[in-house]
C-alpha cells in the first residue's frame, strides 16, 4: 500500500497515515460514484436534533443548573428516554413554558443536519491470499457511547440506523475494510491483531449559512477505538472548512492539518495513543450563491480483540 504521508513524514509519535483510495489500490472514482449515489437515500439523524435541543435547554437553564445540579441529571435522564422514544419535548413542558418566545423559537428551529448509518463486523485474519486475508461477519450494532465522563451529556448511548446491505456487500467497500484491517494489523504493536471488531460509519453533514455544520462538535477528542479512520471523504459539495487536524492532547503540537479531498482519508492510532483529532466546521462557500453545502464521509473504528488472550 502506498500513502500520501506516513507518521515518519509527519513526525508523529504513533501510526498516522494520509491516504487516497486510489493509492491503496481501490477504484476511487467508481467507489465515490457508488457511495454518493447511496447518500441521498440516507435518513436524517434524529439523535443529532435531540442532542442539540437538550444541549440548548442546558444552556438556557445554565444559571439554575449551577444552583440545582439535579436539573442536569433530570435533563440527561430525559435525553436517554427521548433517544429511546419513550419521551417527547412535551415532557419538559414545565421548563419550556418559562422560556422567552425567542428561546422557544430557537428550540423549534433546530433542524437535522446529519445523516448517519453504521455497520459492525467481526474480522478474523486468515492470510488466505486467494480469498482476501480476512473472514468477515456482520454483527448487530452495539449502542454507541462516546468515551467521555458519565456526567457528560454525550455519554448517553445511542443506537444508529444500520447501513444497507447494498453498501456493505459491495466488493470495493469490503476491500476497503480489509485493507484497513491489514493496515491496523501491520502497525499494531504487542499481542493480538488477528481478531478485530470494526464499526463502519457513514456520515453526511450539511452546513447552511445560519449554522455551520460540524461532525466533531466536541472539539479535539479520541473516539475510544484502538485505530480509526477518522474520515474518508466521499464528497464535498460547495463547502469551505472541514479541515482535519491531528495533534497531541493539548493541541500544542500539530502533526497534520489537511482538508481531505474526495477519495482521501486519515488512518491513525486512537485510544491510549498520543494522537487526538478534530475537524473544523463546514459552511457553504461564500463565493457562490448557494445557501447550503455538505460533506459526506466514511469512517471506521477498529478494536483489537485478542489483546489479552493472544
- Which residues, 52 to 111, sit near Fe ion by CB under 5 A? none
H-run or E-run covering 55: helix 46-60
Asked if 278 touches Fe ion (CB under 5 A), the answer is: no
DSSP E strands, the chain: 16-20, 114-125, 134-139, 161-162, 195-208, 227-237, 239-241, 244-247, 254-258, 264-269, 276-279, 282-284, 292-304
Beta carbon nearer to Fe ion, 78 or 255? 255
- Which residues, 192 to 231, sit near Fe ion by CB under 5 A? 223
Site string for Fe ion, 15-44 (x = CB under 5 A): ------------------------------
Number of residues that bind Fe ion (CB under 5 A): 1
Minimum Å distance from CB 223 to Fe ion?
4
Minimum Å distance from CB 86 to Fe ion?
28
Minimum Å distance from CB 146 to Fe ion?
9
Minimum Å distance from CB 155 to Fe ion?
15
Beta carbon nearer to Fe ion, 214 or 238? 214
Closest CA to 297 of 228, 202, 216: 202
Closest CA to 285 of 246, 249, 241, 255: 241
- Distance between CA 256 and CA 262 in Å, rounded? 18
Chain residue whose CB lies nearest Fe ion: 223
CB-count burial class (<10 Å; 0-12, 13-18, 19+) for 219: exposed
Minimum Å distance from CB 30 to Fe ion?
27
Residues at the site binding Fe ion, with contacts judged by CB under 5 A: 223
Amino acid at each position: 500500500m502506498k500513502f500520501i504521508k506516513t507518521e515518519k513524514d509527519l513526525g508523529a509519535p504513533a501510526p498516522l497515515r494520509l491516504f487516497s483510495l486510489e493509492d491503496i489500490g481501490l477504484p476511487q472514482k467508481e467507489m465515490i460514484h457508488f457511495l454518493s449515489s447511496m447518500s441521498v437515500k440516507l435518513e436524517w439523524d434524529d439523535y443529532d436534533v435531540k442532542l442539540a435541543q437538550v444541549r440548548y435547554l442546558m444552556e438556557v437553564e445554565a444559571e439554575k443548573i449551577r444552583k440545582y445540579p439535579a436539573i442536569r441529571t433530570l435533563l440527561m435522564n430525559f435525553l436517554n428516554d427521548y433517544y429511546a422514544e419513550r419521551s417527547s419535548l412535551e415532557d419538559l413542558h414545565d421548563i419550556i413554558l418559562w422560556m422567552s418566545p425567542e428561546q422557544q423559537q430557537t428550540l423549534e428551529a433546530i433542524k437535522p443536519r446529519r445523516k448517519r448509518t453504521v455497520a459492525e463486523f467481526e474480522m478474523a485474519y486468515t492470510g488466505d491470499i486467494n480469498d482476501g486475508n480476512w473472514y468477515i461477519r456482520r454483527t448487530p450494532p452495539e449502542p454507541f457511547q462516546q468515551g467521555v465522563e458519565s456526567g457528560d451529556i454525550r455519554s448517553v448511548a445511542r443506537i444508529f440506523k444500520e447501513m444497507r446491505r447494498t453498501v456493505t456487500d459491495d466488493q470495493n467497500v469490503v476491500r476497503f475494510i480489509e485493507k484497513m484491517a491489514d493496515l491496523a494489523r501491520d502497525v499494531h504493536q504487542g499481542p493480538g491483531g488477528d481478531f478485530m471488531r470494526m464499526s463502519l460509519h457513514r456520515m453526511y453533514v450539511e452546513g447552511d449559512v445560519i449554522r455551520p455544520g460540524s461532525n466533531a462538535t466536541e472539539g479535539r477528542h479520541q473516539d475510544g477505538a484502538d485505530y480509526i479512520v477518522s474520515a474518508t471523504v466521499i464528497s464535498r459539495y460547495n463547502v469551505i472548512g472541514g479541515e482535519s487536524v491531528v495533534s497531541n492532547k493539548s493541541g500544542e503540537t500539530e502533526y497534520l492539518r489537511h482538508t481531505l479531498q474526495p477519495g482521501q482519508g486519515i488512518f491513525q492510532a486512537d485510544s491510549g495513543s498520543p494522537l487526538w483529532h478534530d475537524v473544523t466546521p463546514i459552511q457553504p462557500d461564500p463565493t457562490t450563491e448557494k445557501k447550503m453545502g455538505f460533506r459526506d464521509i466514511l469512517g471506521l473504528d477498529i478494536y483489537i480483540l485478542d489483546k489479552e488472550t493472544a
